[in-house]
Structure 1
């Protein structure tokens, strides 16, 4: 419970990881009661602060629905495009799948791939590549 309290304090101070941790705690009920609205709130806060994992997860939440018709694919792909442009591999996979299924145009797909490559090349270093492989970021 103390860790959860600290997550909330750190999230309020703008910590990306704390936003994700607070969201996960509310989603699973670890250290607090399950509260899906609060879980989404902290996920959105993390995404707005630049947390690509949070942005990716928001894409999955938008794509969920009890029926295909209830899924908000436009919102889902908007989230995935943002995190894919930041070279987040799971979102790139969703963008590729969307293109294959005809949900994204070739132009949209190409633009996201180019932006992702540019992000990777601008931030590349041997240490970053090693960390990315260890953590499974790509």
Structure 2
């Protein structure tokens, strides 16, 4: 019984070390075949959002999921997928949130047109207020100089 307990304790003690070793192995820098592949990868990774770090691009994030997504993006590039196909794949998997610039669609039209509509509404309100004001009449000239 005591040996079994000791074996379990040793196994539990080594699990975090092996998990950390796997994470460090995953953190190895990506190897690119040529400069064109690296340029394309960095451009694509800067257009994608880390699904864990809400305001960081995939290129800037140090989260473990970002490392995995960068590897997956590179693998998809090497499979011959175009940028649009890679984005479509990630959108299917993680939703529109993964894109820094959401697509113009039926459910995102307000996001794209909202600022212009607010600006037009504000201009309309200002015009209505200004047109309702009547300039005060000029005082009659009584011939006196001040």
TM-score norm. by structure 2 comes to 0.25
Give the helix-richer structure, 1 or 2.
1
Structure whose alpha-carbon radius of gyration is higher: 2
